[in-house]
Structure 1
Amino acid sequence: MHLFVVFYLSMSDILIFNESRNGMNIYKRFFRLLGISYTIRPWDIAF
């Protein structure tokens, strides 16, 4: 689970490179836009 999350984070490193401090906030906003709880596993979203 954690490795998968790290994989997602690494894939978006370029997008949050200049916003590393607010990186998690960006992901929380992303999940909020999807209307999905942040506790749901990434692969549940992907598949």
Structure 2
Amino acid sequence: YDSCMPNCHLPVCGNRLVEGKEECDDGNNLDGDGCFDNCALMIPPERMDW
């Protein structure tokens, strides 16, 4: 059950629109450019806290 009404659109990763639970959407499905192919932000290693 996605709770989407008949007139709404489900989020689509890769369409350049940040929708739903997407953290980013750069319009492609390539990793390594700051946004994973699942629309999650890539954290540069120098910004990670261990």
TM-score past 0.5 threshold = no
Q: TM-score, normalised by structure 1?
A: 0.24
Q: Which has the higher contact order (CA 8 A, sep 6+)?
A: 1
Larger Rg: 2
Q: Which has the higher helix share?
A: 1
